[in-house]
Structure 1
Amino acid sequence: MLKDTVYKLIRLVLGLFICALGIVFSINANLGLAPWDVLHQGISNHVGITIGTASIIIGITIVLANVLLGENIGWGTIINILCIGTFMDLIIASKLVPSSNSILNGILMIIISMTLMGFGMAMYMGCGLGSGPRDGMMVALQKRTNKPVSIVRGSMEVGALTVGYLLGGKVGIGTVINAFVLGYFIKIVFRICKLDSSKIKHRFIVDDIKYIKSLSIKGNRELADVQDSISE
């Protein structure tokens, strides 16, 4: 049990690092960011914080909204928020990923970005420790509005893109590529990894709370039985 949990946590963190690396490739491609990263960059530029910190703040806000909407969250959701933003800042500060100075190099970097995002998502989602905050909000809004997932997710992306653009986030051909092509890359990578996201059974924080409560109740009952046997 412990060994399996440690394995999942290592896989989760590694997957999130790969996702963060993919995001930085997209940023340094200098052709425009994915919709949510446009928002993160816009907040970063407008408020004067790092783009990773902006990502963490938006993630926390979305998770709080998900809880209010009645959605369960997992430990992986919390780790997702904290790790991706932190990893992004560390990768950018280390200058591990070079900046592109041409359209051709930029497009190549975006392709690398989308590929890394696909493998990173496959690694962390396969752990079954909870989905990302935006996926959770998508599900919550779909339940509340009874609208198709495509409309709900599309509205979320357009909303993030619009606010990010108004705040000074960079929009360009890379934004269009990410918006229309990233999903196909993720689908291909999931097939390569033989991962069916619809069949993943996530373990939520509420499940662990119930488990701990059940152990506590069981322990109290066993203690009561021992005390009864002693008194007899």
Structure 2
Amino acid sequence: MLPRRLLQLLLGLTLYGVSLALMLRANLGLDPWDVFHQGLARHLGWSIGTVVNVMGAVVLLLWWPIRQRPGLGTVLNVLVVGSVVDVTLSLLPPASSLTERIILLPCGVLLNAVATAAYIGARLGPGPRDGLMTGLVRRTGRPVRVVRTAIELSVLAAGWLLGGSVGVGTVAYALLIGPLVQPLLPLFAVPETSPIPQEA
């Protein structure tokens, strides 16, 4: 079962990176964390993939005071997602028309939902940003929606001030990602234990 979980995790993280690259090429607005990543990348002169990976490591350091423990999936998230973003951007040219951008955006959001369900369903540890949220929920006793909203509004505001791309894609992601991921999760969730084979 572990090889299947590891393969699913790696596939999910890879697709997550590709989905982010599609949304970047659409240039119609990003999800809150990636607005922040893009804004930082513009000021630091780094590739956005490098910023995604470095910020994943920084956020992971914030787990220590809230006593959140990383898993293999957490570590691989820090290493894989940003690297895939940069590779995909190097292979995928900028959109040449508004029509292409409009096509890229929903493809990116849908692929992001599939990727999210895949890596969460592998049960090998949350991503650094998701783990920060769940750790804060546990430590503060606040509802998930309050903690998540506070974190995402904070990084969105910071990213916007840094020049990150906020637009219709940001709104579309906020409205659609939850409803898309929810029905996909049961399809990708790896069972806690393997079923006992039945004799013929």
| TM-score of the two chains, using structure 2 as the length reference | 0.88
Q: Per the alignment, do residues 200 and 57 of structure 1 end up closer, same or farther by CA in structure 2, a change over 3 Å counting?
A: farther
Larger Rg: 1
Number of residue pairs matched?
Answer: 193
Counterpart in 1 of 2:172? 177
Q: Which runs of 5+ in 2 are unaligned?
A: 194-200
Q: How many angstroms apart in 2 are the aligned matches of 1:106 and 1:147?
A: 38
- Opposite residue 99 of structure 1, the aligned amino acid is A
Give the alignment partner of residue 153 of structure 1, picking from 130, 148, 151. 148
Counterpart in 2 of 1:217? none
Matches within 5 A, 1:1-232: 4-95=1-92, 98-99=94-95, 101-102=97-98, 104-191=99-186, 193=187, 195=189
Distance apart, 1:6 and its partner CA: 3.3
SS, match of residue 87 in structure 1: helix
Q: Per the alignment, do residues 158 and 80 of structure 1 end up closer, same or farther by CA in structure 2, a change over 3 Å counting?
A: same
SS, match of residue 62 in structure 2: helix
SS, match of residue 67 in structure 1: coil
Query: Percent of pairs identical after alignment?
Result: 35
Q: Per the alignment, do residues 100 and 77 of structure 1 end up closer, same or farther by CA in structure 2, a change over 3 Å counting?
A: farther
RMSD: 2.0
Q: Is the 8 A contact 1:126 1:200 kept in 2?
A: no
Q: Is the 8 A contact 1:118 1:186 kept in 2?
A: yes
Distance apart, 1:122 and its partner CA: 2.1
Distance apart, 1:9 and its partner CA: 2.2
Counterpart in 1 of 2:197? none
Higher relative contact order by CA 8 Å / sep ≥ 6: 1 or 2? 2
Distance apart, 1:13 and its partner CA: 1.2
